């Protein structure tokens, strides 16, 4: 290999290399220019776009403007007024500070700058490009600063060829504009694209700006976030579970009014939705965090979109707890109304959620006739729950080992007692009780004070079993129901290895297993929720579901196993429940932490109001 002498690159080449990090597309230019305007104290910012930013990006503001000397310096590398010492990097409160943006933009475009301070009679005009170099002159201009970036990447055709279609680049420009508008509601923003005024946001409150940028009825679809600790403050909103989206682009995080991206904070928000989120689901949120600048580091990348925290764990827990608390304030059961859809017929749509005080489930089927469990409807004592809960899986009680009778005899005996008590229980509920009926052995219908509640029995039971499984993991005190006759199960080699891998978790869940050979296991005991007579089949189904979840979803082992267990052991659509079993199911559902959505993200409950019935029957 021939030895080449080391040389210092000329400034024009170095600038083009640096520009590659700062100026990736037209939206990068817009971001830097708007941030400069905001740092200048602007109260009105106008943006003009032509040809999706490829021909023109112009940002005009009414900020402080620049002197002649500052205007000459601003296009030089590492020219900044934001920091002076190394210590300033630890307490950055401005958007810009690196002094790279304008020099990088000027290196790959034809840049024109007009600026004039309020106390000056004349302003400054700067033109810069590779061909003519720096040109400056004095003149009378509008107070503030206007920067025009023309023919982006004209001198780097390879970069220009990598730009996407106009529609794609315009989408990124609009998103950048919206982020700036959301983070600075006190500033007026205008966006004109190809001579058409697209957005005109007047100075507004944070709440009104969110309505202007996102949607007029945005607060019908979100829960609001407000919390403050000694070193962090959070404001903003997050979507209610019904309004989850399939887009990653609807998450807005601002730290000290700077838009940033953070996998840590995104995960904290997503995990607050418990198991509502499925693969491809993303909750919309707008979060404003105020943190001591010395506790974060934004000097990670020239784009200034990444951030590092001094105490990631505390911030994660704080945000996760705040979002959970906000979601917990709402009765998140959607109400259904029927709207006219022209010749296509009627369609269902969802109305707003109702705010509640804590776990106030007052608008649920009224089964209470006296004091009871404060979380549920509270009509069953512990013994009844233990007995009837098992019956939901057609396992009415214990296996009969203690009484030295067969399982069939036990089921017949306890089923007889359950049927005998049904009439007595119905009388005890009296006329004040909600009616409860089964629709095609699939849905449970019951009266509530605002109308009718409809519950999907399978996913309701799934939610109950899921939370029960998670508690088994947390308590590490498994209850295994020993089988009268153990069952040998032959597995394929992969499932056999998976069973060994999950052995400790399966034990916590309530399975008692013995490994006989390379492919055979013996089931000695099972959780009480597994159907009698289907232990082997259910076990295989759980393994199959676990394996599928592991491939399709990135789930924690416990979460995956709890979901797989609840899915395969819950009562199915078509399983017939008597009245007491249905009432118990509803009672247990509203004792869970999230009675609205099943672990796989499907809705459990909907309501139809009396007003809607009155409308359909012509009573209004």
Same domain? For 363 and 393 the reply is yes
Interatomic CA distance for residues 506 and 485, integer angstroms: 19
Same domain? For 567 and 603 the reply is yes
The pLDDT value given to residue 399: 35
Same domain? For 220 and 195 the reply is no
The pLDDT value given to residue 344: 41
Same domain? For 271 and 181 the reply is no
Strand partners, 84: none
Contacts (Cβ under 8 Å, ≥6 apart) of 587: 367, 373, 376, 377, 378, 379, 380
Residue ranges, the chain, pLDDT below 50: 83, 88-89, 341-352, 357-360, 368-382, 384-432
Minimal CA–CA distance to 566: which of 579, 554, 583, 549? Answer: 549
Note whether residue 332 is domain-resident: no
Same domain? For 319 and 350 the reply is no
The pLDDT value given to residue 416: 43
Copy the structure tokens of residue 606. Answer: 């909907």
Same domain? For 357 and 482 the reply is yes
The pLDDT value given to residue 397: 34
Q: CA angle at residue 540 from 504 to 477, to 5 degrees? A: 30
Total domains in the chain come to: 3
Q: Which of 327, 362, 384 is the last residue of a domain?
A: 327
Distances (CA, A) of 302 to 19, 100, 295: 10, 8, 19
User: Rounded to two decimals, what is the model's pTM?
Assistant: 0.64
Contacts (Cβ under 8 Å, ≥6 apart) of 345: none
Same domain? For 233 and 197 the reply is no
Same domain? For 44 and 114 the reply is yes
The pLDDT value given to residue 66: 93
CATH number (domain holding residue 160)? 3.30.565.10
Helices (H) then strands (E): counts for the chain? 18, 26
Note whether residue 615 is domain-resident: no
Q: What domain range is 142 assigned to?
A: 11-203
Same domain? For 481 and 528 the reply is yes
The pLDDT value given to residue 275: 60
CATH number (domain holding residue 502)? 3.30.1540.20
Interatomic CA distance for residues 320 and 270, integer angstroms: 8
Same domain? For 445 and 515 the reply is yes
Same domain? For 49 and 197 the reply is yes
Same domain? For 422 and 281 the reply is no
């Amino acid at each position: 290999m021939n030895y080449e002498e080391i040389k210092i690159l000329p400034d024009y080449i170095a600038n083009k290399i640096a520009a590659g990090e700062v100026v990736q597309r037209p939206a990068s230019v817009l971001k830097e220019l708007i941030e400069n305007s905001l740092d200048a104290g602007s109260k009105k910012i106008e943006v003009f776009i032509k040809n999706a930013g490829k021909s023109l990006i112009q940002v005009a503001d009414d900020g402080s403007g620049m002197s002649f000397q500052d205007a000459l310096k601003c296009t030089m590398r590492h020219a900044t007024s934001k920091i002076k010492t190394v210590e300033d990097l630890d307490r950055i409160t401005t958007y810009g500070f690196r002094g790279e943006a304008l020099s990088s933009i000027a290196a790959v475009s034809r840049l024109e700058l007009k600026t004039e301070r309020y106390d000056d009679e004349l302003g400054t005009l700067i033109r810069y490009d590779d061909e003519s170099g720096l040109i400056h002159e004095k003149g009378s201009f509008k107070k503030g600063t206007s920067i025009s970036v023309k023919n982006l990447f004209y001198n780097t055709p390879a970069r220009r060829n990598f730009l996407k279609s106009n529609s794609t680049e315009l989408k990124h420009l609009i998103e950048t504009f919206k982020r700036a508008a959301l983070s600075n509601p006190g500033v007026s923003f205008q966006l004109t694209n190809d001579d058409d005024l697209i957005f005109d946001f007047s100075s507004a409150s944070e709440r009104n700006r969110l309505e202007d940028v996102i949607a007029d009825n945005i607060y019908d679809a979100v829960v609001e976030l407000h919390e403050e600790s000694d070193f962090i403050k959070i404001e903003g909103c997050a979507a209610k579970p019904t309004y989850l989206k399939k887009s990653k682009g609807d998450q807005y995080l601002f730290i000290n009014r700077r838009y940033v991206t953070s996998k840590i904070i995104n995960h904290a928000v997503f995990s607050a939705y418990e198991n509502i989120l499925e693969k491809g689901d993303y909750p919309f949120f707008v979060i404003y965090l105020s943190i001591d600048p010395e506790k974060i580091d934004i000097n990670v990348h020239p784009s200034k979109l990444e951030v590092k925290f001094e105490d990631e764990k505390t911030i994660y827990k704080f945000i996760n707890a705040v979002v959970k608390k906000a979601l917990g304030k709402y009765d998140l059961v959607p109400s259904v109304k029927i709207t006219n859809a022209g010749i296509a017929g009627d369609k269902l749509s969802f109305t707003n959620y109702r705010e509640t005080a804590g776990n106030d489930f007052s608008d649920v089927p009224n089964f209470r006739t006296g004091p009871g469990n404060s979380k549920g409807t509270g009509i069953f004592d512990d013994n009844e729950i233990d007995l009837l809960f098992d019956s939901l899986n057609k396992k009415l009680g214990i296996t009969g080992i203690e009484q030295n009778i067969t399982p069939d005899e036990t089921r017949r005996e306890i089923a007889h007692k359950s049927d005998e008590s049904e009439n007595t229980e119905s009388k005890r509920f009296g006329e004040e009780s909600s009616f409860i009926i089964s629709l095609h052995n699939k849905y449970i219908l019951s009266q509530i004070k605002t109308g009718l509640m409809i519950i999907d029995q399978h996913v309701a039971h799934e939610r109950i079993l899921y939370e029960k499984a998670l508690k088994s993991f947390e308590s590490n005190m498994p209850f295994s129901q020993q089988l009268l006759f153990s069952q040998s199960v032959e597995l394929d080699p992969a499932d056999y290895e998976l069973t060994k891998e999950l052995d400790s978790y399966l034990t916590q869940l309530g399975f008692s297993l013995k490994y006989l050979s390379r492919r055979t296991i013996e089931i000695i005991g099972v959780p009480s929720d597994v159907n009698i007579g289907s232990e082997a089949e259910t076990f295989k189904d759980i393994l199959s579901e676990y394996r599928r979840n592991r491939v399709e979803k990135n789930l924690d082992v416990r979460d995956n196993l709890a979901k797989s267990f609840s899915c395969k052991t819950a009562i199915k659509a078509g399983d017939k429940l008597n009245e007491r079993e249905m009432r118990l199911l509803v009672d247990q559902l509203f004792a869970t932490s999230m009675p609205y959505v099943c672990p796989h993200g499907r809705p459990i409950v909907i309501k139809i109001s009396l007003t809607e019935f009155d409308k359909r029957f012509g009573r209004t």
